[in-house]
Amino acid sequence: MQGSLRRSIFALAMAFAVAGALGQTTTAPDDPAGGKPAAGAPPGFVVPADPKPGDTEAERTKSQPGNNAPIWRATRDSGNHPGVTTLPNNEGATLIQRFVQYPGSAYTTAGEAWRQTRNQWIVPYGGSLLLIVVVAIALYYVGRGSLGRSTNAGASAIERFTALERAAHWVNAAAFVVLALSGIVIAWGKFFLLPVLGASLFGWLTIALKTVHNFIGPLFVVSLVIVFITFIKDNFPQAGDGAWLKKAGGMFGGPEVPSHRFNAGEKVVFWLGVFVLGALVAVSGLVLDQLIPAVANVRGNMQIAHMVHATAAVLMMCLFLGHIYLGTIGMKGAYRAMRAGYVDEDWAHEHHALWAEDIRAGKIPAKRSSSPPPAGLHTAKEGA
Ligand code: HEM
């Protein structure tokens, strides 16, 4: 085919293509607001109105097909708008929880609100409080050393805790320590253990500890109830408790203030720690373990139970750190009282003078069970 002919056909084709493209851009379609169909639109075609925020899904499929904002808004508010899901569990109809405000969170979907309360309040402030208590106890120990003069190793002995009381105490104490340590890893392990162990080992450890936590929890609840029943008798307010509280028992200076079997500080730990915080931690823990049939296993209940559980557990750990400190190195001879059950008269007079006087006066028996004193010790009466 002649060169010139080929070129003119090519030029013609290019002209058509350019004309076609120009036709696209330059000819602005009619003003949509006017609703007049654009050139080439099928006859009778009506430009749909802009989507309105309040559109239902049905309206939106017309106003802006493919834009499913209404269905996702309804999903987020699935408590408020009808919708259908095929999810199996009893919360199948709630894909995204409704808006709530939990302590310290924004007003947002419940899952997000819980996440904010946990990550912005419970974890940072709870963790800081625990560290502050540990540092305060360490500074107190450095400043004051072990309290008391008597080492509780004297000849004559008084039965302070029976074998049954000690068994109840130590089962509860052991369960508490396991729960506290596993709970600390679950809540704060990613800050101090994950960097050391790496993701997979930390993952396995946390799963194992969470499983231990879920199983030891119910045991702790039972032993806590037993401890409450076992020790309640001597934890009611008595004369002298007010004076003890006023001077904090002499723990920050001055002589130790006389007290009955348990001093006012131990009674505060009993009612606040064992009873109030213990009950909150126990009940919320049983809900999280799904062991209370009356409480439905739905996210809202679990979120509230978790926030109560974690907060009460942090406060309980702070309180019992003090108890454990005084029950080990913080007071001479105290550990032996709960370990062996017996104290000597000197220790009893120094730390629980009103109790020791009642024993001397015969109002309270020096020996309350048939379990013998540890080797080398004998009861006050026998020794007199
Ligand atoms: C390792 C942990 C613990 C240690 C070393 C410890 C140590 C002690 C000691 C030495 C006593 C005797 C104090 C005295 O003679 O007055 C005592 C009493 C007591 N402990 Fe513990 N304890 C521990 C954990 C716990 C826990 C977790 C609870 C409860 C949740 C608890 C509840 C009690 C109660 C109720 C008493 C009797 C005093 C009272 O009723 O006020 N202990 N503990």
Q: Residue with the nearest Cα to atom 26 of ligand 1?
A: 173
Tell me: pLDDT of 257 over 90.
yes
Residue 58 pLDDT grade (very low, low, confident, very high; cuts 50, 70, 90): confident
Question: Does 55 or 254 have the greater pLDDT score?
Answer: 254
The finding on whether 160 has its CB within 6 A of some atom of ligand 1 is yes
Residue 383 pLDDT grade (very low, low, confident, very high; cuts 50, 70, 90): very low
Residue 27 pLDDT grade (very low, low, confident, very high; cuts 50, 70, 90): very low
Q: Residue with the nearest Cα to atom 43 of ligand 1?
A: 327
87 CA → ligand 1 middle, Å: 48
Among the residue ranges 13-27, 100-114, 126-140, 253-267, the one predicted with the least confidence is: 13-27
CA distance 48 to 39: 16
Neighbours of 275 (CB within 10 A): 15
274 CA → ligand 1 middle, Å: 10
Does residue 264 contact residue 245 with C-beta atoms inside 8 Å?
yes
- pLDDT for the residue numbered 77: 62
Q: Residue with the nearest Cα to atom 37 of ligand 1?
A: 231
Does residue 316 contact residue 278 with C-beta atoms inside 8 Å?
yes
Residue 60 pLDDT grade (very low, low, confident, very high; cuts 50, 70, 90): confident
Question: Does 344 or 278 have the greater pLDDT score?
Answer: 278
To test ligand 1's pocket by mutation, which of 181, 266, 325 has the most ligand atoms within 8 angstroms of CB?
266
The finding on whether 270 has its CB within 6 A of some atom of ligand 1 is yes
- Proportion of the chain above pLDDT 70, given as a percent: 80
Among the residue ranges 49-53, 127-131, 190-194, 223-227, the one predicted with the least confidence is: 49-53
Tell me: pLDDT of 126 over 60.
yes
| SS3 sequence of the chain | CCHHHHHHHHHHHHHHHHHHHHHHHHCCCCCHHHCCCCCCCCCCCCCCCCCCCCCCHHHHHHHCCCCCHHHHHHHHCCCCCCCCCCCCCCCCCCCCCCEECCCCCCCEEHHHHHHHHHHHHHHHHHHHHHHHHHHHHHHHHHHHCCECCCCCCCCEEEECCCHHHHHHHHHHHHHHHHHHHHHHHHHHHHHHCHHHHCHHHHHHHHHHHHHHHHHHHHHHHHHHHHHHHHHHHHHCCCCCHHHHHHCHHHCCCCCCCCCCCCCHHHHHHHHHHHHHHHHHHHHHHHHHCCCCCCCCCCHHHHHHHHHHHHHHHHHHHHHHHHHHHHHHHHECCHHHHHHHCEEEHHHHHHHCHHHHHHHHCCCCCCCCCCCCCCCCCEEHHHHC
Tokens of 244: 């003890």
- pLDDT for the residue numbered 382: 46
To test ligand 1's pocket by mutation, which of 323, 324, 368 has the most ligand atoms within 8 angstroms of CB?
323
Does residue 66 contact residue 77 with C-beta atoms inside 8 Å?
no
Tell me: pLDDT of 156 over 70.
no
Among the residue ranges 51-65, 136-150, 370-384, the one predicted with the least confidence is: 370-384
Question: Does 244 or 36 have the greater pLDDT score?
Answer: 244
CA distance 114 to 100: 9
Question: How large is the average pLDDT for residues 315-330?
Answer: 97
Identify which of 240, 279, 288 has the alpha carbon closest to the alpha carbon of residue 261.
240
The finding on whether 274 has its CB within 6 A of some atom of ligand 1 is yes
Residue 272 pLDDT grade (very low, low, confident, very high; cuts 50, 70, 90): very high
Q: pLDDT tens for residues 216-245?
A: 999 999 999 999 999 999 999 999 999 999
Range with top average pLDDT, 20-29, 46-55, 311-320, 367-376: 311-320
The finding on whether 277 has its CB within 6 A of some atom of ligand 1 is no
- pLDDT for the residue numbered 131: 97
Tell me: pLDDT of 142 over 80.
yes
- pLDDT for the residue numbered 82: 63
Tokens of 113: 């609100």
CA distance 123 to 109: 20
The finding on whether 244 has its CB within 6 A of some atom of ligand 1 is no
Tell me: pLDDT of 287 over 60.
yes
Residue 34 pLDDT grade (very low, low, confident, very high; cuts 50, 70, 90): low
- pLDDT for the residue numbered 7: 62
- pLDDT for the residue numbered 277: 98
291 CA → ligand 1 middle, Å: 27
